[in-house]
Chains A and B, each alone.
Chain A
Amino acid sequence: EAQVTQNPRYLITVTGKKLTVTCSQNMNHEYMSWYRQDPGLGLRQIYYSMNVEVTDKGDVPEGYKVSRKEKRNFPLILESPSPNQTSLYFCASSLSGTGDYGYTFGSGTRLTVV
């Protein structure tokens, strides 16, 4: 089944403890992206990647890191999480970044930082 797989689905952590949210897609998509979604706000892009070894900042990159060493994986790293990073996170992928193929989203990761 073609899908984007995110793990974990739920995570509660403490301030300052490094964490990684994994994202993997099995559709051979070139483009991958991370978003956060907060109540009353639209999806906000954190980082995106047009291809392997190519990553760029989105609208809200502060406090996050990413890597794209293989086409299928695009992990999101929070080196020192803070409570303002409590949010619902989505990974998405697309055949290309040009939009006409649509984006496939992962199931989401609900992160709580205390």
Chain B
Amino acid sequence: GQNIDQPTEMTATEGAIVQINCTYQTSGFNGLFWYQQHAGEAPTFLSYNVLDGLEEKGRFSSFLSRSKGYSYLLLKELQMKDSASYLCASMDSNYQLIWGAGTKLIIKP
């Protein structure tokens, strides 16, 4: 079956670094997405990885290992506005997205 696993909730301190992990099992693979979703709002696109390695985009970086079925989202210099849920999604061989349930990130002062 197809499955995405990510932690339900994480807590971090303002100014620190946090890594949110995601493991995936999908029928085929056409890329791994990360989205940010504030409570009650729409998901917004953060990153897309289709090749192995680290992609950096400002304070946010995303890593992919296709052989391990593993990705992480790294958030640096955490700000209070980063408190949100972070959604991991894998695109399968039919170009359909399989979504994880999301990781709720709580930032404390």
Interface bracket on B: 20 to 34
Contacts of B101 in A (CB 8 A): 40-42
Contacts of A97 in B (CB 8 A): 95
Asked, given contacts A90-B42, A106-B42, whether A99 binds B99 with beta carbons under 8 Å apart, the answer is no
Write the chain A residue with the least CB distance to B4: A42
A100 to chain B, nearest CB (A): 6
B64 to chain A, nearest CB (A): 13
> Taking the complex as formed, is B97 at the interface, i.e. its CB lies under 8 A from any CB of chain A?
yes
Asked, given contacts A99-B30, A99-B31, A102-B33, whether A43 binds B99 with beta carbons under 8 Å apart, the answer is yes
A44 near B30 with CB under 8 A, answer: no
> Taking the complex as formed, is B70 at the interface, i.e. its CB lies under 8 A from any CB of chain A?
no
Q: Is the interface of A mostly helix, strand, loop or mixed?
A: loop
> Taking the complex as formed, is B96 at the interface, i.e. its CB lies under 8 A from any CB of chain A?
yes
Write 14 A-B pairs (CB below 8 A) sorted by A numbering. A42-B87, A42-B100, A42-B101, A43-B43, A43-B99, A45-B96, A58-B96, A97-B95, A99-B50, A99-B91, A99-B95, A99-B97, A103-B33, A105-B43
